[in-house]
């Protein structure tokens, strides 16, 4: 559709920066099928991601500590070559869009001073993700007008993209 309507495919303005997010020590490692595993591990072990570099910058730069991860690109620029955040020379003119909309705390598992044992629980409390009730309502509503094949496709989509907490209960509630 972008080509049909002649939308620009490069040099999109405002610039969009997708902030990387991952669990501790679970960064994405890229490799080819013919790479040797020990070389992959050695190559990726010390590679910084945007998130780990954010924490490193906060550790060494006291001024950086006042910004949340989602606000960081407004004051710092990401250098992909050296894989580090540098202070912006000037305040950026462009609006930066993020996948994470409303993170309110610096620690991703902390909300209003309470530290949750799981990231999912904290995300539920913040409102970044919905609980299984909304997924159940979605399946109930879809069952009123969708055919079985479409419902199975919707259920598969929910499993892949919504990560329900209790898959078995969701399946059992809507099996019929």
**pLDDT tens digit string along 42-67?**
776 667 888 888 988 998 988 888 88
Mean pLDDT along residues 130-159 = 87
Q: Which two tokens stand for residue 146?
A: 């969708």
Least confident of 12-26, 50-64, 78-92: 12-26
pLDDT digits (tens, 9 = 90+) for 97-124: 333 433 444 556 666 777 777 766 777 7
Angstrom distance (rounded) from CA 133 to CA 115: 24
The domain ranges of the chain are 1-98, 132-174
**Alpha carbon of 2 to those of 9, 55, 90, 95: distances in Å?**
7, 37, 32, 21
CB-based contact 174:144 (threshold 8 Å):
no
Q: Which two tokens stand for residue 120?
A: 């999912």
Percent of the chain scoring above 90 in pLDDT: 3
């Amino acid at each position: 559709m972008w080509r049909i309507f002649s939308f620009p495919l490069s040099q999109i303005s405002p610039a969009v920066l997708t902030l990387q997010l991952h669990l501790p020590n679970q960064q994405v490692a890229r490799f080819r099928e013919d790479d040797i595993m020990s070389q992959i591990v050695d190559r990726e072990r010390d590679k910084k991601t945007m998130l780990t570099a954010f924490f490193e910058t906060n550790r060494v730069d006291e001024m950086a500590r006042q910004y949340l991860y989602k606000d960081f690109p407004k004051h710092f620029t990401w250098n992909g070559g050296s894989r580090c955040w540098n202070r912006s020379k000037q305040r950026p003119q462009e609006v930066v869009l993020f996948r994470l909309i409303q993170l309110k705390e610096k620690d991703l598992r902390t909300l209003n001073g309470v530290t949750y044992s799981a990231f999912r629980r904290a995300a539920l409390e913040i409102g970044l993700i919905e609980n299984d009730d909304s997924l159940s309502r979605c399946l109930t509503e879809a069952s009123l007008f969708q055919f079985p094949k479409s419902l199975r496709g919707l259920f598969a989509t929910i499993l892949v993209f919504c990560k329900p907490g209790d898959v078995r209960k969701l399946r059992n509630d809507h099996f019929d």
